[in-house]
Amino acid sequence: MADLKEMSKEERLERMRHSAAHVMAEAVLEMFPGARIGIGPPIDTGFYYDFELPRALTLDDLPEIEERMRKRIESDVAFEPDLISKDEARVIFHDQPYKLELIDEIPDEKVGLYRQGEFLDLCQGPHVERTGQVPAFKLMSVAGAYWRGSEDRPMLQRVYGALFDTQEELDAYLHAIEEAAKRDHRRLGRELDLFSFHEEYGPGLVYWHPKGGRIRTLIEDFWRDAHFAAGYEIVYTPHIGKSTLWETSGHLNFYAENMYSPMDIDGQDYYAKPMNCPFHIQIYKTGLRSYRDLPIRLGELGTVYRYERSGVLHGLLRVRGFTQDDAHIFCRPDQVRAEIERCVDFMMFFLGAFGFEQFHVYLSTRDEKGKWAGSVEDWDMATGTLRDVIESRDLPYDVDEGGAVFYGPKIDVKMIDALGREWQCTTIQFDFNLPERFDVTYVAEDGAQHRPFMVHRALLGSMERFFGVLIEQYAGAFPLWLAPVQAVVIPIADRHNEYAGEVVGKLRAAGLRAEIDDRNERMQAKIRDAQLQKVPYMLVVGDREAEAGAVAVRLRSGDDLKAVPLPDIIERMKGESEVPSYVAPKTTA
Ligand SMILES: [Zn+2]
Ligand SMILES: [Zn+2]
């Protein structure tokens, strides 16, 4: 058998993880004689095994299973492969119906078997040689899993384990999970009073609370200012449109399953919009456009509704109603390159303002075998431009050959957060279909009607999803320019309330978001609460501060700046809360 050290890390981990799954199955069978076992493959971070047990497992059971596994690993028994006939296998697994089902489906004459000690499993391997080679692992969780993933088969109990080469790597992984749990936007959304969902009145629909609403307003204001600076016009369009619009756009044909049932208005079917594009096209078409008018860039914070199965809804990340930061660019062929460059640079500026500096780009190209809209020349030009621009910006990218939808090539950008996770955000997508369907044209220099290039583009993706990612990115501790409350003023005793009120008044007059905490609580408790609410500045005021016109400054990081004159802290906070401003490229193209 091969030496573990000589294998690629991938192969070694796969063997060790799969072997740990067998060891776990043996341990569980020992705890529950008569248990039925399903399958136990390796996965990305470890392994799992599915069981049918006389009772439901809880997290409290995991240490005992781990303990039994460790004994087996210590006793260092060999994994022994075998190849036997199906009939022999049926005898061995006569009391294991799930295994019998698998045996029936194996096309070969003989089936693989692996033995460690008393435990036998139907298995092709490969495994490590001995149980002693199973390294650092930890059982993580128990979850229900349908046998073979089918809802009409029995629900089994799946026990997950994490396994890595070394204890160090395992610890790093466990730490990352803990960090992610601490940053979970659903939990922080509750604790920081940012948003809520009301399942009973419709799942997947977000209620933004005042503090969440404040942050959204700040992001939207930033978005609008930057878009005007970048040469976009901002439009507002209806939330519903008549069936004829969606027939012409083709959505009722190829996108119907994502759309909600129509509502009847004067005997006509109207649909909630799943996309803003057809509306923006109507605005474009209200006038005769000449080559001199292009490019036209129409942006909208457009709220759309799309059907998602309830099983895939997930906090703010997957919802049924959301606001896209949408834009459509109509341009001439000779402007395509500059427009794509502007889009990519704008994206990097915009996401950079939220602390995202690293991106991973996915380029989707034409499916040669499928049907597509537009000409091969246009596709090649559009795809080549996307590729050139991401290369010129040194952005790492992968190509999804043939992965583009039928109407045009696109890039999807994932931003990498503080924990190294990738989040889908920006999309820049060519469209050779809608301009055709709606007969979108401009008058070119030759006096004839030509078709403009149309690009769909969203930077953040949607306000909801981006907000969810942002909460996790900052772990709820928003930078000053986004913090819903920038400072809490804390009077030490009742007699300081008046001065505290004055301080709040001055902060607000300077455009800062400040509140007073005049509850009948001890100062330490107020500081702790403000810290839990991740308020950046805590300004404590007592006799000395009131006399000196100062505040005692505590930061949410725990730093204590002692007494600072009020005008100084206002100056400092104003500097820190400046909104990043976009400077458009000098060209007028
Ligand atoms: Zn196996
Ligand atoms: Zn669009």
What confidence tens digit (pLDDT) does each residue in 457-515 have?
A: 999 999 999 999 999 999 999 999 999 999 999 999 999 999 999 999 999 999 999 99
Measured in Å, residue 434 CA sits from the centre of ligand 2 at 9
Helix (H, G, I), strand (E, B) or coil at 225: helix
Instruction: Give the rounded percent of residues in the chain with a pLDDT score beyond 70.
Output: 99
> Where does the pLDDT of residue 441 fall: very low under 50, low under 70, confident under 90, or very high at 90 and above?
very high
C-alpha distances out from residue 36 to 49, 53, 60, 553, Å:
11, 7, 21, 62
The stretches of 210-331 forming alpha helices (DSSP H) are 210-229, 243-249, 251-254, 277-284
> Where does the pLDDT of residue 302 fall: very low under 50, low under 70, confident under 90, or very high at 90 and above?
very high
Mean pLDDT of 285-306: 97
> Where does the pLDDT of residue 587 fall: very low under 50, low under 70, confident under 90, or very high at 90 and above?
low
* 163 and 134 Cβ atoms separated by less than 8 Å: yes
Q: How many CB atoms lie within 10 A of CB 285?
A: 13
Helix (H, G, I), strand (E, B) or coil at 35: coil
Mean pLDDT of 533-537: 97
The pTM score is 0.83
Instruction: Give the rounded percent of residues in the chain with a pLDDT score beyond 90.
Output: 89
Mean pLDDT of the chain: 94
* 323 and 459 Cβ atoms separated by less than 8 Å: no
> Where does the pLDDT of residue 119 fall: very low under 50, low under 70, confident under 90, or very high at 90 and above?
very high
Counting ligands in written order, the one closest to the CA of 128 is: 1
pLDDT tens digits along 365-399: 999 888 889 999 999 999 999 999 999 999 999 99
- As a whole number of angstroms, the distance between CA 541 and CA 555 comes to 14
> Is residue 174 pLDDT above 70, yes or no?
yes
pLDDT of residue 339: 97
Q: How many CB atoms lie within 10 A of CB 399?
A: 13
pLDDT of residue 151: 86
> Is residue 588 pLDDT above 60, yes or no?
no
pLDDT of residue 203: 94
> Is residue 21 pLDDT above 60, yes or no?
yes
> Is residue 589 pLDDT above 60, yes or no?
no
> Is residue 341 pLDDT above 80, yes or no?
yes
Helices 62-74 and 9-31 sit at what angle, rounded to 10 degrees? 110
pLDDT tens digits along 191-220: 999 999 999 999 999 999 999 999 999 999
Measured in Å, residue 461 CA sits from the centre of ligand 1 at 42
Helix (H, G, I), strand (E, B) or coil at 442: strand
Measured in Å, residue 127 CA sits from the centre of ligand 1 at 7
> Is residue 1 pLDDT above 60, yes or no?
no
Closest CA to 162 of 17, 307, 367: 17
Mean pLDDT of 11-37: 96
Mean pLDDT of 74-92: 94
Counting ligands in written order, the one closest to the CA of 255 is: 2
Measured in Å, residue 121 CA sits from the centre of ligand 1 at 6
pLDDT of residue 583: 82
Mean pLDDT of 4-9: 86
> Is residue 357 pLDDT above 70, yes or no?
yes
> Is residue 277 pLDDT above 90, yes or no?
yes
pLDDT of residue 482: 97
The stretches of 313-375 forming alpha helices (DSSP H) are 336-352
pLDDT tens digits along 406-426: 999 999 999 998 888 899 999
> Where does the pLDDT of residue 125 fall: very low under 50, low under 70, confident under 90, or very high at 90 and above?
confident
pLDDT of residue 5: 80
Measured in Å, residue 89 CA sits from the centre of ligand 1 at 14
Counting ligands in written order, the one closest to the CA of 435 is: 2
Annotated active-site positions, please?
A: 277, 306, 324, 326, 328, 410, 456
